[in-house]
Amino acid sequence: MKNFKKVIALALAAVMMMAMSITAFAAPETGSATIKVTNISERDDKTALTVYQIASIDSKKNEIVVADWAKAAYNEKLQPNFDATELNNAFEKANPKPSVVKTAESVKGADVEFKGLAGGVYMIKAVGDKVQYNTMVAVAYTTDVNGNYVAETKAIEIKAKGATNILTKDSNDGLVRAGQTVKFTITSTVPYMANKQNREYKVFDKETNLSAPTNVELKVGNADAVKASFELVSEKNGSALYTMNLSNLITADDSNAGKTVVITYEATVVGVEGYVNQAYDSTFEFDSNGDPVNPPEVYGHPACIKFTKYAEDGVTILEGAEFEVNKGNEALYFVEKSVGVYHLADASTKGATKTLKATYGAVLLLGLDEGTYHFTETKAPKGYSINTAGEDVVIDGENYYSTTLIHVKELSEQQKKDLEKNAWMIDTKLSSLPFTGGMGTTIFTVFGVALMALASALYFATKKKASVN
């Protein structure tokens, strides 16, 4: 009996020893990893993210296995700021393309998490409409106490770093009058720069037929807008180039990288030719002349009215009429640049006048925007009466062109027709009277004298008869 108990005890001990040693013989538990991508720009409504696997864990051999397409470009010493250019090139050349592991979508720059990933190394690509990003690499493995490769269970955080930036330019009006104040907006993104020593981030604004920027404000990310200013770089042929230096936004920790930059300002339209406004930043590609390649531009186009005075036949042009023009309750002032050609101007402008002279039968008014213009005749051509009703001329009555012309460089024929108005007014002749000494007055005079002679004769004849009786 004692021997039997000893055998049982030894058997139980052996079972316990075997149970305890099972983990030593079994493959290590690799777990799952989480990759969190931050710093995505809120400029895009949606940013697409895709995950591809570069390397995986071979648990049986306890080694990292690199995918064939990535072997030539793979670097085992992957650092947080690892340059994935070569890996990305290898990815683009791969045929067939590596399989997609996971996809996700960031809405308005929200962080994205990829959960449940097997231990290994991953490539993450992020693509937006306005912001493109450098290829990201995440190392999602570590080693346990026994030296076995396992998934990194602590979330791995990676900052998305913009590679190219789509800078945009907008204005609040594309149909403008001379002297109008227009609001402009430049939207950009703080770039990621690997070389912080030679950092430079500048925004440039080139204006044609516009005054210097005023009421300038700068907003970075979710911070409140602050007052800012542009520095004049150069002026030439009616154009001025301004710059704003934002290099201080490039920090060692890339805390601003990917943040949206919004610059707003106001400028006044100078002259009657409309405006051209261009913007770009120092991340743009420049040609051999130092000019930016395909910078965004916005445009302001003026309208005009040719107003003609006709006789009642609608064909004969009458010379010498004079007019005044109102827009609503506002009396408009103009400067005559040549006979019958007037530029809209401020009342304080030298030579400004409310009186428009149709010396040769017509006036051309330049530098107008949308609205209803009322022409009042103040002097009629010789021999004609003033048209007391006046005439209304409407430009862009539904305010359609003020928004659609902002990004239009050359007007279409229809747009020209709508914005280059031809209008007219008809005068009637004064009532005609016979001139002094003509037949008309002579016959009345003779007739009057005859009546008077007859009346006198009758009077005396009557008196004589009365005296005889």
- How far, CA to CA in Å, does 367 sit from each of 237, 304, 319? 20, 6, 24
Residue 25: band (very low, low, confident or very high) from pLDDT cuts 50, 70, 90: very low
**Number of structural domains the chain divides into:** 3
The mean-pLDDT minimum among 133-137, 367-371, 437-441 falls in 437-441
How many other C-beta atoms lie within 10 A of the C-beta of residue 123? 23
The torsion defined by the Cα of 381, 384, 388 and 392, in degrees rounded to 10, comes to -60
Query: For the chain, what is the total number of helices (H) and then of strands (E)?
Result: 5, 32
Are 308 and 382 found together in one domain? Answer: yes
Whether the predicted pLDDT of 359 surpasses 90: yes
Pairwise pLDDT comparison (209 vs 21), residue with the higher score: 209
Q: What is the pLDDT of residue 256?
A: 86
Helix (H) or strand (E) holding 450: helix 439-468
Strand pairing report for 46-58 and 100-107 = antiparallel
Boundary-marking domain end, from 143, 164, 185: 164
How many other C-beta atoms lie within 10 A of the C-beta of residue 37? 24
Are 189 and 98 found together in one domain? Answer: no
Are 236 and 285 found together in one domain? Answer: yes
Query: What are the pLDDT digits (tens) for 51-99?
Result: 999 999 999 999 999 999 998 888 766 655 567 888 889 999 999 899 9
Q: Are 44 and 126 in contact (CB under 8 A)?
A: no
Are 367 and 260 found together in one domain? Answer: no
Query: What are the pLDDT digits (tens) for 364-396?
Result: 999 999 999 999 999 999 999 999 999 999 999
Q: What is the CATH number of the domain that holds 369?
A: 2.60.40.10
Query: What are the pLDDT digits (tens) for 441-458?
Result: 555 555 555 556 566 555
Strand pairing report for 149-151 and 156-159 = unpaired
Residue 21: band (very low, low, confident or very high) from pLDDT cuts 50, 70, 90: very low
Are 147 and 206 found together in one domain? Answer: no
Distance from C-alpha of 39 to C-alpha of 202, rounded to nearest angstrom: 21
Are 188 and 292 found together in one domain? Answer: yes
Whether the predicted pLDDT of 180 surpasses 50: yes
DSSP 25-90: HSPPP---EEEEEE---TTSSEEEEEEEEEEEEETTTTEEEE-GGGTTT--SS--TT---HHHHHH
49 token code pair: 């993210």
Please list the residues that pair with 391 across neighbouring strands: 375
Q: What is the pLDDT of residue 27?
A: 46
Helix (H) or strand (E) holding 272: none
The answer to whether residue 443 is domain-embedded is no
> What percent of the chain is modeled with pLDDT above 90?
68
The answer to whether residue 280 is domain-embedded is yes
Grouping H, G, I as helix, E, B as strand and the rest as coil, residue 22 is helix
Are 293 and 172 found together in one domain? Answer: yes
CA dihedral (387, 362, 306, 368) positive or negative:
negative
Grouping H, G, I as helix, E, B as strand and the rest as coil, residue 261 is strand
Q: What is the pLDDT of residue 434?
A: 44
CA dihedral (439, 441, 445, 448) positive or negative:
positive
Query: What are the pLDDT digits (tens) for 92-123?
Result: 999 989 999 999 999 998 999 999 999 999 99
- Side-by-side strand order, sheet with 303-310: 333-338, 341-345, 362-368, 303-310, 420-426
pTM of the predicted model as reported, rounded to 2 decimal places: 0.76
The answer to whether residue 25 is domain-embedded is no
The domain in which residue 150 lies consists of 4-16+31-164
Whether the predicted pLDDT of 250 surpasses 80: yes
